[in-house]
Amino acid sequence: MIEKPTVLILGAGASVPYGFPSGRGLKQIILKSLGTSGIMNLRQIMKDLGFEPSIVESFRNDLFYSGWSSVDAFLEYRPKFIEIGKLAIALLLFPFELEDKIFKEKDSENSWYHHLFEKLKTNFDSFDKNKISIITFNYDRSVEHFLFTH
């Protein structure tokens, strides 16, 4: 049980050991998927969802030339792209949500998710007495899924 008040602040690097891309990596995946060599044809999906091709092209070009290392940093200063940016992030992170990577036991000694869970362990009636808060800037749901599934 965690008895000392503790706050964890998580960024994109927190889920990299579980197969998720870093912020910079996600930006590259989005750019490739809006081009011709991505893991999915994001350009076509955006069109099918009603985004004008000119908006999709503008998003891709502005992101490419922005100089920001992550999509979320870019979106902070380009609010007109928030809807399309969030959709791109959600669609492209989904294929990385693989339970066998999140719950892998072979590396549990090096898994901070497992380590955190071990620290939280107590009986069911006392679990809510753990003094921990988690602030996450991640778009993936891996730590929440891990904790709620265990």
Q: If the chain, 150 residues long, is cut into consecutive pieces of 10 residues, what is the mean pLDDT of each piece?
A: 94 87 93 82 92 95 95 94 95 87 70 88 85 88 84
Please report the pLDDT score of residue 150 as a whole number.
73
Residue 49's contacts (CB-CB under 8 Å, 6 or more residues apart) are: 87
Please tell me the predicted confidence (pLDDT) of residue 108.
66
Looking at residue 38, its pLDDT comes to 67
Dihedral (CA of 14, 16, 22, 23) sign: negative
* pTM summary value: 0.81
Can you give the pLDDT at residue 106? 55
Looking at residue 107, its pLDDT comes to 61
At residue 73, the pLDDT reads 92
Contacts with 46 (C-beta within 8 Å, 6 or more apart), sequence order: 56, 84, 87, 88
Residue 49: C-alpha distances to residues 46, 76, 111 (Å): 5, 23, 38
